[in-house]
Amino acid sequence: MIDILLATLNARYAHASLGLRYLRANLGEWRESSAIREFVIGQKTEEIVEKLLVDRPRVIGIGVYIWNVEESTRLVAQLKALAPEIVIVLGGPEVSHEVDQQRICALADYVITGWGDVSFANLVRELMADKPPAEKVIAGIQAPLPALVSPYSEYTEEDVRQRNLYVEASRGCPFKCEFCLSALDKTAWPFPLEGFLTDLDALYAFGARRFKFVDRTFNLKIDTSRAILDFFLDKLASAPEDPVFVHLELIPDHLPERLKEKIVLFPEGTLQFEIGIQTFDPVVQARVSRRQKNDVASANIQWLRQQTRAHLHVDLIAGLPGEDMVGFAAGFDRLVGLAPHEIQFGILKRLRGAPISRHTIEYGLRFNPDPPYNILATDAIDFATMQRLSRFSRYWDIVANSGRFPRILVLLLGNEPFVHFLAFSDWLYERTGQTHALAQERLVHLLHEYLCDSGRLSEVEISAALIADYRATGGRSRLRFETGKVVREPPKPRREKSTPSRQTRHLQA
């Protein structure tokens, strides 16, 4: 019999909730009466409700995040309408702050803010003993990390085969960047290293080969970082035909030689670093309490790119208080010059509880009131320009970050990457009216048309680069411009009839 269900809506199937696994592992005597049920955003709410109610649980704990809060609200509303006797408990970063302002919190029976590993288990014991607490909002207890039961045995064979496995060697963050919820942490707390390495070894023996570390500061303690890298290097040496993939978040201006000497040993395709630059503007950095030595960070990214085989994914944020288009463009161009494999160009979000909101009035920050709470305008960037930046971000993802257009990207960006890509982004949106559903072959033809019309390059050079990029990624169709002529995308035909096509087919049957 399942008395307790732990549920969440993940952003993708490939994601596996580490939080739910911590909760189940630490349920003590109630673990065997519990189960994890994971879903994906976009699933029909009624179907999720149906699957949850099949087990007839007494308690349902739901992990709530910025990406699933709207759908989770509908889920809780339907659960309460159909089975009001089930106790609904919420947890997660999205409901850890501004609880009294959220409909989902009003619908639920209990809300645990902050750390839930121990507090959820305590609440379950009280509920099962028919001694429900009087207070609806429960402040999570921050238990010492050595006291927590490891969550990794909660991963299943299906998880190992098909999903990324999330692990953490530490929690918290010593830095105070105001756009991040980790700014609320006092420090970073490490898990006992020996026990963590034992957990990694058990996961590896179970078949795990994809490890994504959720640590905010992997390279904070170099001795620990080296020990973890040594663990994976040993596995690679013992089974080079069965490689692992490891994703780590790196502090950009802290890369001593003792760590470099380990990183250079990893073969291609096994190590990925996520590196947060966010902004190169020292005034903006100080404004949002971000400490970063820009020259050191740049030199480290350049070294990683030139001397190692690690894949580099570097983050920038548009819309930070006081940063205008000129400042952001300068930072973007500087980062392009360092040649990371991917630049994750994000738009500032107002995470609930994050200190960034203190700048709202002084810098005219206007955020979307609904998830994902993205910045709509500032006193330095108006709404129309922010929309352009948002489209730039999307197009950069499908052209640059996709890795499908390395040759044409060099020609497109020239010596002014931001200016040239923004011009292409504006043109592409005006030309297609789309930011999604742009198939690769269609995008190839659009790039050809734009670059030929721009007059900056010869058609021969453009065509050669695009053909090479297209063929390198498996494209086999004969492209329209392979005849040597500029061929523009034909205009979409106008619909003459007001009757939708589906209804027309029924009428003709």
pLDDT of residue 501: 55
- Percent of the chain at pLDDT above 70? 95
Lowest mean pLDDT among 104-108, 182-186, 483-487, 494-498: 494-498
Over the range 90-102, which residues count as b (16 or more CB within 10 Å of their CB) and which as e? bbbbbbbbebeeb
**Section 312-325 average pLDDT:** 98
pLDDT over 80 at 487, yes or no: no
Computed over every residue of the chain, the mean pLDDT equals: 94
DSSP state of 1: -
Look at residues 292, 268, 283, 44 and name the one whose alpha carbon lies nearest to residue 175: 292
**Section 71-86 average pLDDT:** 98
pLDDT of residue 491: 59
Look at residues 66, 59, 52, 9 and name the one whose alpha carbon lies nearest to residue 30: 59
DSSP state of 55: T
pLDDT of residue 490: 65
Token pair for residue 387?
A: 């929309």
DSSP reduced 3-state for 174? coil
CA dist 290 and 304 (Å) reads 22
Look at residues 62, 129, 118 and name the one whose alpha carbon lies nearest to residue 89: 62
Q: What is the DSSP string of 278-335?
A: E---HHHHHHTT----HHHHHHHHHHHHHH---EEEEEEEE--TT--HHHHHHHHHHH
Instruction: Indicate the fold that domain 4-144 takes in CATH.
Output: Rossmann fold (3.40.50)
pLDDT over 80 at 504, yes or no: no
Asked if 4-144 and 164-381 have one fold, the answer is no
Model confidence, pTM = 0.92
Token pair for residue 457?
A: 């390059």
Cβ distance 421 to 396 under 8 Å?
A: yes
Residue with tokens 């930070």: 320
* Beta bridge partners of residue 6, listed in sequence order: 36, 61
Residue type, 373: Y
Token pair for residue 431?
A: 């030309």
pLDDT over 50 at 507, yes or no: no
DSSP reduced 3-state for 166? strand
Residue with tokens 């929309």: 387
Residue with tokens 């939708």: 500
Residue 103 binned pLDDT confidence (cut-offs 50, 70, 90)? very high
Q: How many angstroms separate the Cα of 383 from the Cα of each of 105, 318, 363, 368?
A: 31, 13, 14, 11
pLDDT of residue 482: 87
Q: Which residue has the higher pLDDT, 495 or 161?
A: 161
Helix, strand counts (H, E) of the chain? 18, 16
Q: Which residue has the higher pLDDT, 72 or 493?
A: 72
pLDDT over 70 at 237, yes or no: yes
pLDDT of residue 485: 65
Is residue 112 packed enough to be buried (19+ CB in 10 Å), middle (13-18) or exposed (0-12)? buried
Cβ distance 78 to 50 under 8 Å?
A: no
Q: Which residue has the higher pLDDT, 486 or 185?
A: 185
DSSP state of 156: -
Q: What is the DSSP string of 465-509?
A: HHHHHHHHTT--SPPGGGGSS--PPPPPPPP--SS-HHHHHHHH-
pLDDT of residue 273: 98
Q: How many angstroms separate the Cα of 119 from the Cα of each of 89, 90, 179, 359?
A: 11, 12, 27, 33
Residue type, 124: V
Residue 505 binned pLDDT confidence (cut-offs 50, 70, 90)? very low
- Pairing relation of β-strands 110-113 and 137-139? parallel
pLDDT over 70 at 492, yes or no: no
Query: Could you say which of 1.10.3720.10, 3.40.30.10, 3.80.30.20, 3.30.750.24 is the CATH number of the domain covering 164-381?
Result: 3.80.30.20
Q: Which residue ranges make up each domain of the chain?
A: 4-144, 164-381, 385-493
Residue with tokens 């999903």: 163
Q: What is the pLDDT of residues 344-373, one digit of tens each?
A: 999 999 999 999 999 999 999 999 999 999
Lowest mean pLDDT among 120-134, 139-153, 484-498: 484-498
- Percent of the chain at pLDDT above 90? 93
pLDDT over 60 at 216, yes or no: yes
Q: Which stretch of DSSP H or E encloses residue 10?
A: strand 4-10
pLDDT over 60 at 499, yes or no: no
Lowest mean pLDDT among 37-51, 177-191, 228-242, 257-271: 177-191
